[in-house]
Amino acid sequence: MMTKAHRTFRPIIFTALAAGVAAAIASLVWFNAYAAAGRLLTADPNAIPADRPVMHRAVTAGQAVYSRQCASCHAAGGQGSVALSTPALNDGDWLYGDGTPAEIERTVSYGIRSHHARSWHLTEMPGYIQATASGTHQIIPLTPSDIRDLTEYLMKLQGEPGDEQAAARGQTLFHISAGCWDCHARDAGGDRATGVPSLTDKIWLYGKGDRQSIFDSIAFGHAGVCPAWIDVLTPAEIRQVALYVYALSHPEDSGESK
């Protein structure tokens, strides 16, 4: 038989138990989050995509950093911008390195031709019409007609129809007198150790692969700049945004549970 004391006591015990269970769950959730935050900075960045909880949190946080700091130049979904001459970050094609999280993180930290001493700055595209000096290369000026020949050769490399004789002259210039191969490689496939773009893949940083844009690139040169973020973002933010960029071309690794 239940006494009055029993009846008032039972709900209290029940409430206490429920509160205890809730507190345990909360601390478990908090502990998991805390452990994941710790793993974000201590783990090898290339191993993080396989750690789904850490990756998921990083990509979510990285997206916010991206919207704030990167979307203005690289576009909201990482498509890049023809008007701003920024590369797409979502296509798995890289100017610098092979697109591992660690390599992306390096680019984000120090930038490209930024003022940071550790930025990527090994080379740039010389302007050939006035023969602007390039750090390592002695540039011999080209005439507008040479540059038109080179343009025809590059159109031919894309499989586009054009002036065959001009393309043949352009090929000789590319491989001998103008020395383009020295940076862009013999097969014009570019060099990801120095950030020199491929000229055969129909992916253009400057313009859309039309003759005028190619002519202008050769005539006036380029030295695209991505800022260094090491003094602007925290180490966690840099890693998060690098993982977000990595996930743009590896959606299967975004950490979403399937």
Binding site for ligand HEC (CB under 6 A): 69-70, 72-74, 85-87, 89, 94-96, 104, 107-108, 112, 123-126, 128, 134, 137, 150, 154, 174, 178-180, 182-184, 195-197, 199, 204-206, 214, 217-218, 222-227, 229, 241, 245
- The residue whose Cβ lies closest to ligand HEC is 224
> 86 or 254, CB closer to ligand HEC?
86
Q: How far is the CB of 107 from ligand HEC (least distance, A)?
A: 4
CA distance 226 to 207: 18
Q: How far is the CB of 138 from ligand HEC (least distance, A)?
A: 10
Q: How far is the CB of 146 from ligand HEC (least distance, A)?
A: 8
Are 173 and 150 contacting, i.e. CB atoms less than 8 angstroms apart?
Answer: yes
> 43 or 139, CB closer to ligand HEC?
139
> 39 or 222, CB closer to ligand HEC?
222
Q: How far is the CB of 56 from ligand HEC (least distance, A)?
A: 19
Q: How far is the CB of 198 from ligand HEC (least distance, A)?
A: 8
> 58 or 112, CB closer to ligand HEC?
112
Q: What is the DSSP string of the chain?
A: ---HHHHHHHHHHHHHHHHHHHHHHHHHHHHHHHHHHHHHHHS-GGGGGGSHHHHHHHHHHHHHHHHHHTHHHH-TTS--BTTTTB--SSSS--SSTT--HHHHHHHHHH-BSSSSTTSB-S--B--TTTT--BTTB-PPP--HHHHHHHHHHHHHHTT----HHHHHHHHHIIIIIS-THHHH-TTS--BTTTTBPPSSSS--SSSSS-HHHHHHHHHH-B---B---TTTS-HHHHHHHHHHHHHHT-GGGS----
> 24 or 168, CB closer to ligand HEC?
168
Q: How far is the CB of 49 from ligand HEC (least distance, A)?
A: 16
Tokens representing residue 38 in the block? 């710790």
> 43 or 73, CB closer to ligand HEC?
73
> 54 or 89, CB closer to ligand HEC?
89
* The CA-based dihedral angle spanning residues 160, 80, 86, 212, taken in that order and rounded to the nearest 10 degrees: 30
- The residue among 105, 112, 79 whose CA lies nearest residue 244 is 105
